[in-house]
Amino acid sequence: MNPSRCLYPGSFDPVTLGHVDIIRRAAALFDTVVVGVLYNPEKQGCFPAAQRVDMLKRVCAGIPNVEVISYGGLLAQFTRETGISVVVRGVRGVADLESETVMARINHQLNPALETLFLPASPEKGEISSSMVRQLASFGADLSAYVPSEVLPDILAAFSHQRMNILRED
């Protein structure tokens, strides 16, 4: 039997405990999980791609069957080049399911060998998003319930300057 591989793609700007939930569960289902930092042209990035990869590598260091990569092109092209035929996406609710279904259909049209599997986000992780983490960070809130401890220093460093500016404007 061929070893199974899947791609778990996302912006990971930054990685959250919601993403880690999906990575761990995918790692239990597949021989290898390739976590891919891909480019979403609709989102203005906060952390550079290299730092997002670095943060994910630190967070996933204890999961032996996880690889982390970044790719600037189409997801369909990446999976064609690597021969990966399964994409895993986490869904937090109906709104995610709607947009994820569209994305899965387009990716399948672009690469008919590709299937998308949806994993429901664990209930306690269903409210987390990277933009929510960034907003809380800009106000100096405690992030320990939302992001892995390995990346807290990165986030605090990235937002310390912004917090100082907010205070200056008061």
* Residues classed as catalytic: 19, 43, 92, 130
Q: How many helices (H) and strands (E) does the chain have?
A: 6, 5
Tell me, by CB under 6 A, how many residues bind ligand COA. 28
Torsion of CA 81, 53, 100, 112, to 10 degrees: 10
* 30 to 7, 23, 78, 84, 86: CA distances (angstroms): 10, 10, 18, 12, 10
DSSP classification of residue 78: H
Structural tokens at position 118: 């949806």
Smaller CB separation from ligand COA, 90 or 148: 90
14 lies in the binding site for ligand COA (CB under 6 A):
no
145 lies in the binding site for ligand COA (CB under 6 A):
no
End-to-end CA distance of the chain: 63
> Site map for ligand COA, 114-133, x if CB under 6 A?
-------x---x--xxxx--
Q: Which residues contact 83 (CB under 8 A, 6 or more apart)?
A: none
Smaller CB separation from ligand COA, 65 or 122: 122
148 lies in the binding site for ligand COA (CB under 6 A):
no
> Which H or E run contains 26?
helix 17-29
> Site map for ligand COA, 26-65, x if CB under 6 A?
------------xxx--x----------------------
Q: How far is the CB of 32 from ligand COA (least distance, A)?
A: 18
Binding site for ligand COA (CB under 6 A): 9-13, 16, 18-19, 21-22, 38-40, 43, 74-76, 90, 92, 103, 106-107, 121, 125, 128-131
